[in-house]
Structure 1
Amino acid sequence: MPDPVIALDDVTLSLRGNAGPVEILHGISMEVARGETLGLIGPSGSGKSSLLMVMGGLEGASTGRVSVLGQDFTGMDEDRMARFRRDHMGVVFQSFNLIPTMTALENVATPLELAGHKDAFARAEAELERVNLGHRAGHYPSQMSGGEQQRVALARASAPRPQILLADEPTGNLDGSTGQAIMDLLFGLRDEHGATLVLVTHSNRLAERCDRVVRLTDGRVDPAGLRARAAE
């Protein structure tokens, strides 16, 4: 694979638990190509979300090497990692993670302001229009439905035009029809901005829309789960 956007080499992840270290990921080696859509599937507790967090630098690998856009995450401090993520990645969580004291417009504009964009609010407003929420720009998260909050989260993630979009169960807290709408928006934003998309999902329909699917089992890549255009 020429010039992968994300490359993992023999990555492990061990987290400290009450009873001692818990081994989460075991020797993960994989690459993600520029512009590819990769689906991570597997049973609950298989390490899907942890792998996504390692790819985004939100969890540091215990051993092994993680390289994103040619940058080695090994030894990168938290401040530098946060700046790298701000400049190159958009992350969408299942729980939305909106700031409750900020309006939809402010939630989308704040990361742009922090990145130094002088047109932060105009750009945020345009992004809310793209997800059909221009009329809700002045509303707070508590005044919006789950689907609306997830659309705000999508707008926030895509507004900086990231090269990489990471999504962790983006439809997990939504009903079927709302989840379908979020799926369409997510793939539409990917197509519009040309981003590489990695997503964790339990949805067969969402996995089927990915270019490639990787199945995790007990923190390991299942060789039988490496496939293209296949459901879980």
Structure 2
Amino acid sequence: MIATVLSLENAALSLDGNAGQVDILHDITLSVHKGETLGLIGPSGSGKSSLLMLMGGLEQATGGQVTALGQNLTRMNEDELARFRRNSMGVVFQNFHLIPTMTALENVATPLELAGHKDAFQRAEAELESVGLTHRRDHYPAQLSGGEQQRVALARASAPRPQILLADEPTGNLDETNGAAIIDLLLGLRDRHGATLVLVTHSHTLARRCDRVVRLRDGRIADDTRQEAAE
């Protein structure tokens, strides 16, 4: 029996806005299995990124329940969620979120150091090598291209060997060539570390390479399709 890594049961998300409460997600029930690659697609404003944030405990559900690796994220406080992500999840954002005052190597080593790994810098070097950036290890983010910054972000997310890897529009700020390279690297990291991958994307090329695609519309699941021919 395939293990369930992520599970949402009637999960909802509402946020307070200037005009009052805004309902973003409604009654989301969804399970993600170990080793699966799940693509979240849909028009802008459909709730894709918000759903990814719920899965990572970066937003707290205002209804229902979110469970990851058997842990109920809806019952955790912010410190507990931060520790859980540090130990079990890697997150890649569209805008990279690298620390500008740190080199590429230091950016990748930071989560490893926070997790108490004594070989943080050795592991960070190995991850940079895996994304083809050994020669840029001592460069700062401002000295790197957009594609290189996203490679550093991928290396940082994968260095702690997370069981779950979440990616929010990982190719959104890149041109077609760099975007294709990032797709290959992302799927390669998934395969190498055996992680479960959930990603938000507008890219049809990336969506086609997922095992399964969930389409959102107006904060609800409109379609859930398993792709037999996923690469």
* Partners of 2:30 and 2:130 in 1: CA distance: 33
- Does residue 198 of structure 2 align to residue 198 of structure 1? yes
* Partners of 1:171 and 1:114 in 2: CA distance: 27
- Does residue 143 of structure 2 align to residue 143 of structure 1? yes
Aligned residue number for residue 92 of structure 2: 92
Identity of aligned residues (%): 73
**What is the deviation of 1:2?**
4.5
Aligned residue number for residue 226 of structure 1: 224
Q: Deviations over 1:27-81 (max 9, x none)?
A: 0000000000000000000000000000000000001000000000122011111
Question: Matches of residues 143-182 of structure 1 in structure 2 within 5 Å?
Answer: 143-182=143-182
The letter for the 2-side match of 1:56 is G
SS in 2 for 1:107: helix
* Partners of 1:136 and 1:200 in 2: CA distance: 28
SS in 2 for 1:226: strand
* Partners of 2:95 and 2:129 in 1: CA distance: 22
* Partners of 2:4 and 2:28 in 1: CA distance: 15
Aligned residue number for residue 209 of structure 1: 209
Q: Deviations over 1:164-217 (max 9, x none)?
A: 000000000000000000000000000000000000000111000000000000
The letter for the 1-side match of 2:111 is P
The letter for the 1-side match of 2:140 is Y
Runs of 5+ in structure 2 lacking a partner? none
68-77 or 178-187, larger mean C-alpha shift? 68-77
* Partners of 1:157 and 1:163 in 2: CA distance: 11
Taking structure 2 as the reference length, the TM-score comes to: 0.97
Question: Matches of residues 1-232 of structure 1 in structure 2 within 5 Å?
Answer: 2-222=2-222, 225-229=223-227
The letter for the 2-side match of 1:89 is M
SS in 1 for 2:4: coil
SS in 1 for 2:225: coil
SS in 2 for 1:165: strand
* Partners of 2:179 and 2:2 in 1: CA distance: 34
**What is the deviation of 1:226?**
1.2
Taking structure 1 as the reference length, the TM-score comes to: 0.97
* Partners of 1:106 and 1:3 in 2: CA distance: 35
SS in 2 for 1:12: strand
SS in 1 for 2:75: coil
* Partners of 1:68 and 1:119 in 2: CA distance: 27
The letter for the 2-side match of 1:98 is L
SS in 1 for 2:74: coil
C-alpha RMSD of matched pairs (Å): 1.1
